[in-house]
Amino acid sequence: MAEHNYDKQVEELVRYYKQAVERIKSELDRFDLSDFSRANQLATLKNIADILKGLNEDAAQWVADNIPMAARAGVADAIVALGVVNTAAEAMQIVKFNRVNKELVAAAVADTQADLLAVTQNVERRVKATVRQVVGEAMRQNLAQGINGRRTMNADIMAGLRGKLGDSLNTGIIDSAGRRWDPKVYVDMLSRTKMMRMTMDATINEAVDREAYYGQISSHGAKDACRNWEGRIVKLVADAPGDYPYIGDLPGREIFHPRCRHTVSPIRRPDRYE
């Protein structure tokens, strides 16, 4: 069974985010904290919105290319595992999405695009709120000028406000478990997990369509909880006969967790693998 490595694709997507973050950082560095005009704020926020708009377009295109690619790889896996052809290259020639896979791919593309859009919306909201807060604080400092005989803003205060602007880019995302993520790290985890998941779901759908109702979990000498599942036989549909766990019921903390590299290889006769 082919082991899939989506590092190259994930790195490309993460690079889009890194580049956007760098460009936003330099917008924030250029932002003049002594200019309290609304026009100054709006110009910066507009530039940031434009950067994020470009990022959203690149990310949406990436998803439209890569989620179907991951699904094709999954279908090819099933075709090879079931002995229809001998090589992955031959399998790729005959890959077609069955009805279930067609729908699944469309849904996964939409879901992943929505998840990535939520990342940029989150970044935009935080950056906007921070720019407003920092301008407010700068204005207050300005009002208080003269208290200590200085005419310009204290360098420490200035650096503190600049730091707040920079921080607004680093901890944007809070996941469903309440953990905070750097958006770039989150995008890496999300896209990698979605691609692996897509590949496996496409494999299962192709296998079931070809009347193979069991699968064997791949082995690569895992060190985490997955190791207990390596080589195990599972059912691909809940009501297949036999005393095997159904793949959909496996504990997500132990196997097929985020970033998990394990896959399932379809088989027709589980008794031959025991």
> In terms of CB distance, is 58 or 188 closer to Zn ion?
188
C-alpha pair distances (Å), 255 with each of 1, 173, 203, 263: 17, 25, 17, 10
244 with 236: CB under 8 angstroms?
A: no
Q: Which C-beta is closer to Zn ion: that of 14 or that of 200?
A: 200
To the nearest 10°, the Cα dihedral for 94, 84, 233, 229? -50
Nearer to Zn ion, 202 or 260 (CB): 260
Q: Tell me the C-alpha to C-alpha distance, in Å, between residue 95 and each of 45, 134, 196, 250, 265.
A: 46, 54, 18, 28, 16
What mask, x for binding Zn ion by CB under 5 A, covers residues 169 to 208? ----------------------------------------
Which residue among 260, 264, 265, 267 contacts Zn ion (CB under 5 A)?
Answer: 260
Identify each DSSP E strand in 71-149 by its residue range: none
**CB of 255 vs Zn ion, minimal distance in Å:** 6
Only one of the segments 17-25, 26-34, 244-252, 256-264 lies at the binding site for Zn ion (rule: CB under 5 A); that segment is 256-264
Contacts with Zn ion by CB under 5 A: the residue count is 3
Site for Zn ion in 211-250 (CB under 5 A): 226
Binding region for Zn ion (CB under 5 A) out of 37-45, 176-184, 187-195, 252-260: 252-260
Sign of the Cα torsion 235, 199, 98, 269 reads negative
Least distance in angstroms from the C-beta of 40 to Zn ion: 50
Q: Is 138 near Zn ion (CB under 5 A)?
A: no
Min dist. Cβ of residue 1 to Zn ion (A): 14
Which CB atom, from 235 or from 262, has the smaller least distance to Zn ion? 262
- b/e 49-73 (16+ beta carbons within 10 angstroms → b): eebbeebbebbeebbeebbbbbbbb
Of 16 and 256, nearer to Zn ion (C-beta) is 256
Nearer to Zn ion by C-beta: 109 or 196? 196
Residue in 184, 262, 265, 267 binding Zn ion, rule: CB under 5 A: 262
Q: What is the torsional sign of CA 128, 131, 137, 140?
A: negative
Chain positions contacting Zn ion, by CB under 5 A: 226, 260, 262
